[in-house]
Each structure stands twice: as structure tokens, then as C-alpha cells.
Structure 1
Amino acid sequence: MTTSTSIPATDLFAQAVRLDHRADPYPYYARMRQRPVARMADGTWLVSGYHEIRQLLHDPRISADRLNPQTANQPVKTLLVQDPPNHDRLRHLVTQEFVPRVIGMRDHIEELVDQLLDAHATDRPGQLDVVADLAYPLPVTVICELLGVPRQDEAVFGSLARRLTRGLDPIDTQTEQELLELQQARVELVQYLEGLIQQRRTEPGADLLSGLMTGDDAMGPLDLRATLGLLLIAGHETTVNLIANGTLALLRDPDVLARLRADPDLATQLVEEVLRHDPPVQMSGRSTLADIDLAGTTIPKGSRVRLMLAAGNRDAARFADPDRFVPDRADNAHLGFGGGLHYCVGATLARAEAQIALTALARRLHAPRLLADPPPYRANAILRGPEALPVAFDRLDRAAVMS
């Protein structure tokens, strides 16, 4: 590929991940899709078309592990960056312990949402920060309860998750200070998890951690620690962004907000549209195990590949009127949870938390409006979402009040 082709792809990616473009990277994604498979100057391939991304997600010649510079030196890797057969073994162990515990949690999640909103309930005009007051504490509480983290440690656990997520972004977008802080956070996480694991060895319970540690298929100590760290981040940070991005969509379109308030069943399709239109996970990394022909281009064996999930979700070749938020969009096979072997393990839980939270906001807040649009965004480019989402309202009903 010629230099003239490489430079635009490099520049577009650099523009898309700039913090001052975090509120709206989609114009840069649209330009990427003009060439859905393109090579950047550092040799990484950007894949931004929906069909091309989907093809690679299901291609056995693509790897989630190899040539990943951010995991190359780790002594043990999470299932997110492993290939079969070890990926399949770990995923099976997590799924058989995780899914049964999530089923039947909706009533409890509804109670947690109501408790969080009740702290701000008033018959007078008021304000709340949807991120700090709902989107952040809800999934932290849920994942900590699932893992068996003591209630008093939730704040510590949540703080570690927020610091560690910055490490998911490309290294060249992080400062030297951020890299040092990331390393310190990893050390703190290991120390905390080792203490928690040791406690469960002597006092097992009914939580997910205890389940992963016992039985004929019990995880080894290194895999267990890596899996807990993954669940901490994946089970928390992505859902924070999903709820916040969904709230943004509702408050930017009063007609959609009114529809959800009148018809709570709309929440199921609406959350799928949030996952398509403004997904919490913007991109994912892979590498090639063989030459792969894609969209008239050959990606050589041993290449790094960046799958631009958010760009593919707005591809007009797959979705009609892709830049418009359509809450009841039909045939919405989005890429919000990835696809293939690495489809999000926690998708069921994330959907439930977002559906319940957005429905409660629509039902209980009267005349809600954004106090900042766009709101301030977090530094993370991969896990993209608002840092804060201040909202004013005329009244916030208590949970027992239906209107």
C-alpha cells in the first residue's frame, strides 16, 4: 500500500481518539468507512465497515492474543485476550457460574435503582449527576455482590476499575504519568484479589468467586485472578457508559423519552439501539494468523488489526439512516457486544441494568433536561462515555409513586 493511502488512515484514527473529539468521533468514523480496510503508518490495519468487521470476528484466522503489545509480557492473560482452546475452557467456567446467578436478578436490580434515585427524590426542582448517582454505583454494587466483594470495599473496587480501564487504550495515547499510575493500580488489584481469594479459600460462600474456586473444574490461581480482574472492569465500566449514553439519547429526544415513559416495554429495543448508535466499547484489537483477503485487500499474516466497532455500527451498507437514533429499530444486529468467540459474557446483565435504569429515569423524572450538552467525557477512547452527566428536573417521584 502506498504512503498516500497510509497517512489518511493514521490521521483519521488520531483525530477520532483525541480527547477534544470524544463527544463526537462519528464524523471521523464516517470518513474511515470510505475505505473500510486501510493500513496505518505503524502497520496496524483499521477495519471500519460493518460486514468486514463481522467477517473477521467469526474468522478462525484472527487472534485476540498474538502481537498484542499491551498483554505480551503478562504472565497470565484474561479470556478476553486468549484464543482456543484455553479461551473456550475459561469462558465455559465463567459462563456456567455467571449466567445462573444473573438470571432472576431483575427484581433486585430494580430495587437498587430505586434506592439510588430515592436519595434524590423531591417534589421540588432538583439536580442529579446520572453518572455519579446512578450509572456508576449501580453496576459496581451488582458486580461486587456477584463476586462476593464486601460492601465496604465497593468504593475501593470501583476506583481500581476506573484507573485500570485507561490501560485498555492504545499506549501512544497515554502519558508517562498515566502509565505509572496504571502499573500501580495493577499492583493494588493483585494484592486486593489475592486477599479476597485467600478469604474465600477458608470461608467459601454462594458467590461467583467461590463457584470458580471449587468443583472439578476449579480455576487455577493465576487464571482466577485474571478472570476476576476482567469481570471487575467488563462487568462495571462498560455498563456505566451504556446507561450514560442511553440517558443522553433520551434527553436529546423528548419524543423518545415520552414513548419510553408511556411504554416501558420499549426499553428492550431502545437499549439495543443505544448499543448500536453510541456503544460503550468503541473498538477492539486483533491480529492475523494468516493472510486474509478482505474488501479487495490482503491483510498479511502477523498484522495487528483494529476493529472499529462503533464505525461499523453506523455503516449505511447495513443500517438504514444509520446516524439517526431509532428506538424501535428492527433487525438491529449491532456490534455493541462484539461477536464470535469473544461475544460479551456479561451481555445479559448489562442489558438488564440498562433497561431497568433507563426505564426508571423516564418514569420518575419529570421534565428532565441536560445541564451540559455535550457533557464532559472521560479520557478513555475505547470505553467511551461521559465523565459526568448533570441533569435538572422539576420533580423526581419516589419509587412508590407511579405517574
Structure 2
Amino acid sequence: MAVSTINLLEQVLNYANRANPYPIYARMREHPVQRQADGRYIVSSYALVDAVFHNPQMSVDMRKSNEPGIRLEQEEPPFVFLDPPKHDWLRQLVASKFTPGLIDSMQPRLEEIVAELLNAQSASQRMDIVDDLAYPLPVTAICELLGVPRADEPRFHTWSRMLIKGTHLGKDAAAAQEARQGRDALNQYMGELIDKLQRQPGPGLLSAIIHDTGHEKHMSRAELITTATLLLIAGHETTVNLITNSMLTLLRHPQAFELLRRQPEEVLPNLIEEVLRYEPPVQFTLRTPLIDVTLGGVKIPKGAIVMVMTAAANRDPARFENPDRFDPQRQNIEHFGFGGGIHYCLGAPLARLETYIALRSLARRLQNPRLLQDPPPYRESPILRGPLHLPISFERMNVV
């Protein structure tokens, strides 16, 4: 049994290490399954993370854990935190509306949004990648996709931030209370919107799901609310990090940015996958065993909390050559940037498309961009890791 005498998980959670948690992940991988002093387990190697994602006995439903402080309260969680069979039919219902064709059809509108946002900065020689592009792009897109009024963004922005603050894994009572308040406010907002759409159908994915007649099963009001809240938050929070982490990485690697500028169509698809490996927007996730399981020779008891350290696995030297090197031309990038197994991120294609359009436009239009602060200030969440702000300067904004 590998028991960490120095709690590496606490070091990852410590905000002081947010800018660079990767040396801590390297120490984790020295013993890829470790029991922490608080009874939680860390799984950090590529092979074992992959095994966890494909083990049906590893539950995503934290209500089945033995740790009361981390259990979700009151209503049932959204489908990404449910096991089969309920997870499967709820996900399939959403996927039947959230189709590749729908996502592809959004490209002209996404390009229009990016152009509008960058044009607003054209008279300046400075911008904040987060506030001026990486946040407003996906939040506008997800509002239009779902049928949520864009004018309500200031309200749910606050509630979303409150909810995300609760990703301290049940150890911070004040943050957990704030997260519950944010969740309750979001759910109430979504409940009112769903009631309105039930009375009067409108454009967007939510109305399509509410009035779906092509499936035997239909979501209850509670299921509609949790699904809508999930899609709203997941539809923009992780993409903000992906766009911002991409730009931060590119500006730290000027040759990669120049390569992108010269050959965007050829370079971008692989480059985005490398960012997802190298600086993933989600750093880790949780599972709990439904039975006693053995991983890497370590027995993990039923109901224990297992921290699945996907960002550590993405830099495992047993899987990737020179894993701490950013290589936009790297081949065979099978990363965990969007999770894995049956819970692989449903919104991954949209996140990739938004990031593709944003980075292509930035590479075309920014002349000699430079970081103004490195490392930048980071968001508080240790799970959804990305800069809170990314101020840059540039000589001019090209017109295209």
C-alpha cells in the first residue's frame, strides 16, 4: 500500500500551485495509486486512468461514496454524474438533438461572433483574451444554442461562479454552501425558463428536448432543469479554459504561433489536441468503486473517493515521449482532455470548433502579440484550471 506522507492532493488544491501543478503530478506518478492521509485515493498513470474510465464498477455518482461531505444533496444530479442505465438514456436524448450537423451549422455564426469581438478591440493595442474573447464567445454560443436569453448572462455568470467555487471537493464548508446557493439559483432560473418554453415553444435545444416526441421516455421537470443547468455551465466554462490555455501556450512558444499563423488549416486540428493533452481545461475527475477494486496492486475499498488525475496521465512518460514538451505536430495524441469511456464529453465537438475559430482568427489578426503577465492570475478552481485573465499587447489588429 502506497500511502503518501506528504498529501500531494492538498498541494494540487493549494492555489499557490495553480500556475504549475505539473511537478506535483510527476511526483504522483512515482506511485500511480496512492492513498492520501484523508482516505482518498489518487490514480495518476495513463494506463490506470484509462482502466478506471472503462471499468463499469467505478461510479460517477458521488452519492454512492462513503464520504458524506462530498455527496450531492437534495435533487438528483445531472446525467454526467449518473451511472447506467439512467445515464445512457438521458445522454442519448440530449445527443439526438445535439448532433454533428447542428454543430457544423453553427460555424458561420461563431465566425461572426469572433469577428465582432475582435473588431471591438481593433483600435487598441491591448486586450484580455479571457474577458474580450474566450468568455463571451462560448457563452454567447451556448445561449443561442440552448435558447437562453443572452441578456441574462450577468445573472447566471454569478451563479455559475458560485457553483464552481464548490469544486473544493467537500472540504470547504463555506465554499460548499456558496455552491449550493449558486446551484439553487441556477435551477430556479432554469425551471422558470423551462415552464415558459413548455407553454410557448421557442428556438433552441431546450425547447426541442422539452417537446421531443420521438422517444419513449421523456425527462421529468427535475431532469430537464438539471440537464439545462449542466449544458449551460459545461457549454462555456471548459471552453473558456481551452481557448485561454491555448493562447497562453502559443505565446510561450512563438515558433508554434508563427507556424499557426502561416498554416492555420493544416496546423490547428492537431494543435488543439496537443493543448488538450498539455494544458487541459479539466485537470481531474472523481469516481467511487461500487465494489472493492484493485488498481496497480492497490486495493481500493467500496465507496472510497478516487481522484482520477487526467492531467497527470496526459503527461505520463510511459505513454508520451517528452511529455512535458509542447509539440503541436505530435502524433498519436490519445489524451484525456475530454475524459474517457461512456462519460466522454458530449460537447467536445463544439468546444473544438469554437477554439479552432478563435485561434485561427487570433493568428490572422494579431500582429506580434506578447504576454503582459506570465504567469497570469488563475481561476480559483483546481479542477477547471485556466487563467482568470490573460492580458496581452500587440502592434495592431489586422483587418481580414
Counterpart secondary structure, 2:281: coil
Give 1:48-127 correspondences, 5 Å limit.
48-65=44-61, 66-67=64-65, 69=68, 70-99=70-99, 100-122=101-123, 126-127=125-126
The size of the alignment, in residue pairs, is: 391
Distance 1:388 1:197 in 2: 33
Distance 2:187 2:297 in 1: 45
- How much has 1:296 moved relative to structure 2? 2.0
Distance 1:321 1:93 in 2: 41
1:143 aligned onto 2:142: yes
1:235 aligned onto 2:235: yes
- Percent of aligned positions that are identical: 48
1:47 aligned onto 2:43: yes
Counterpart secondary structure, 2:380: coil
- How much has 1:370 moved relative to structure 2? 0.4
1:208 aligned onto 2:205: yes
- How much has 1:294 moved relative to structure 2? 1.8
Which moved further from structure 2: 362-371 or 155-164?
155-164
Aligned to 2:5: 7
Per-residue CA distance 1:329-379 (angstroms, 9 max, x = gap): 100000000000100010000011111111111110001000000000011
Counterpart secondary structure, 1:103: helix
Letter aligned with residue 316 of structure 2: D
TM-score (norm 2): 0.94
Aligned to 1:25: 21
Letter aligned with residue 264 of structure 2: P
Counterpart secondary structure, 1:287: strand
Per-residue CA distance 1:104-137 (angstroms, 9 max, x = gap): 2112111111111110013xx6100000000011
Aligned to 1:253: 253
| Residues 163 and 181, structure 2, Cα contact 8 Å, conserved in 1 | no
Counterpart secondary structure, 1:219: coil
Which moved further from structure 2: 158-167 or 384-393?
158-167
Distance 1:73 1:156 in 2: 23
TM-score (norm 1): 0.94
| Residues 13 and 168, structure 2, Cα contact 8 Å, conserved in 1 | no
Distance 2:157 2:97 in 1: 22
| Residues 238 and 281, structure 1, Cα contact 8 Å, conserved in 2 | yes
Distance 2:12 2:77 in 1: 28
Distance 1:77 1:71 in 2: 10
Counterpart secondary structure, 1:33: helix
Distance 2:162 2:109 in 1: 28
Per-residue CA distance 1:68-110 (angstroms, 9 max, x = gap): 7434423211111100000001100111111243232112111
Closer, same or farther: CA 157–102 of 1 in aligned 2, 3 Å? farther
| Residues 145 and 204, structure 2, Cα contact 8 Å, conserved in 1 | yes
1:34 aligned onto 2:30: yes
Letter aligned with residue 31 of structure 1: R
Residue 199 (structure 1) aligned to one of 182, 196, 201? 196
Which moved further from structure 2: 69-78 or 322-331?
69-78
Distance 1:90 1:189 in 2: 20
Letter aligned with residue 279 of structure 2: D
Aligned to 1:133: 132
Closer, same or farther: CA 179–297 of 1 in aligned 2, 3 Å? closer
Counterpart secondary structure, 2:307: strand
- How much has 1:215 moved relative to structure 2? 2.4
In the alignment, structure 2 segments of 5+ residues that lack a partner are: none
Distance 1:64 1:20 in 2: 29
Counterpart secondary structure, 2:30: coil
Aligned to 2:222: 222
- How much has 1:142 moved relative to structure 2? 0.6
Residue 182 (structure 2) aligned to one of 169, 182, 185? 185
Aligned to 1:164: 163
Distance 1:13 1:45 in 2: 9
Per-residue CA distance 1:163-217 (angstroms, 9 max, x = gap): 2212233122x362x3333232222212211111111011112311011111233
Distance 2:167 2:342 in 1: 20
In the alignment, structure 1 segments of 5+ residues that lack a partner are: none
| Residues 165 and 233, structure 1, Cα contact 8 Å, conserved in 2 | no
Counterpart secondary structure, 1:168: coil
| Residues 139 and 240, structure 1, Cα contact 8 Å, conserved in 2 | yes
Which moved further from structure 2: 241-250 or 142-151?
142-151
| Residues 138 and 236, structure 2, Cα contact 8 Å, conserved in 1 | yes
Letter aligned with residue 245 of structure 2: N
Letter aligned with residue 50 of structure 1: Y
